[in-house]
Amino acid sequence: MEFPKFKAATVQTSPVFLDVEKTVDKAVSIITEAASNGAKLIAFPEVFVAGYPYWNWIMTPVQGSKWYEELYRNSVDVSGPDMQKIYDAAKEFDIHIVIGINERGESYGEIYNTNLIIDNLGNLIGKHRKLVPTWAEKLTWTSGDGSSLKVYKTDIGPIGTLACGENTNTLARFTLLSLGELIHVANYISLPVAPPDYDMAEAIKIRAAAHSFEGKLFTVVSCSTISKEIMQRLKPDVPNVEELLTRKNSAFSGFIGPNGTTIGTPLIDDEGIVYAEIDLAKCIQPKQMHDILGHYNRFDIFDLRVNVAPTSKIRFVDGFNNLGG
């Protein structure tokens, strides 16, 4: 049996705000750099293409309405031309990619917070739609469903992903573990408008460590930053935007090993790319003590049921009220 070893990269940076083409070009540039340094997997932040709806937190819903429309115009169809450069880069540089996007739905105004899983042949092998938009995010995103709660087999190992706050969802995480996840990509956004006593960077680290320790796997964390360009775009509507969107310890990106400890030195707030060597054989020994998928569980007592059926918006029933006509 083979246990893959490979070099992984994770990114901490901001998108080119609400500009799909320039953000995709930035992503390709970063992919090129990471691949040149030997990376076979790269993780990008939540909704990296092409931006997070910060206005939900610092404006009223009425004030944010025009920004919602602009975000919709800069959402993407995963099978459309906007993302092709990234798929092509995955193939050209022989690298697996997990990247967050604003995915355009079928209805005007329908946007999903989606993570794409792209293999090293340039194939879009999966997409995960955030199950529950967090707090003010409900003003923007439609909820995903269980059909996207999957783990994807790749040349470097089985990959699963969750976006931001849903990494606190114990049942979602256990579902991925039960599907054989050994590489977990958790991506986030910087959120300085959290309560004053909330250390966002530490909270991200705690979530990643919990999942890695419980599942005995590797967690790759990628978090975005808030650029001056983003703040300048929002400043006409929120004059004190710098005060609201600037706070230390708001972003954490790095790697957590199967024992729950940090691998190398993570990035906190600063932009850049972090690398780590991943050896999936290291997932074996820790399971001798706690294997919650095997000997360290009681499935005769606990039974988790997961609905993986896609949500249906409508059902047509032939002859439903046909009273003898």
Residue-wise pLDDT tens digits, 37-74: 999 999 999 999 999 999 999 999 999 999 999 999 99
Among residues 164, 181, 205, 216, the one annotated as catalytic is: 164
Active site residue 130: yes
Q: Is the dihedral of CA 86, 90, 91, 92 positive or negative?
A: positive
- The structure tokens listed for 315 are 């059902």
pLDDT tens readout for residues 94-134: 999 999 999 999 898 899 999 999 999 999 999 999 999 99
Classify residue 280: in a domain, yes or no.
yes
Classify residue 323: in a domain, yes or no.
no
Among residues 130, 150, 205, 216, the one annotated as catalytic is: 130
Count the neighbouring beta carbons within 10 Å of the beta carbon of residue 92.
14
Active site residue 164: yes
Classify residue 242: in a domain, yes or no.
yes
Classify residue 324: in a domain, yes or no.
no
Confidence of residue 324 (pLDDT cuts 50, 70, 90): low
Confidence of residue 320 (pLDDT cuts 50, 70, 90): low
Domain count, the chain: 1
CATH of the domain at 76: 3.60.110.10
Range of the domain at 41: 5-288
Classify residue 273: in a domain, yes or no.
yes
Count the neighbouring beta carbons within 10 Å of the beta carbon of residue 141.
25
Give the pTM: 0.96
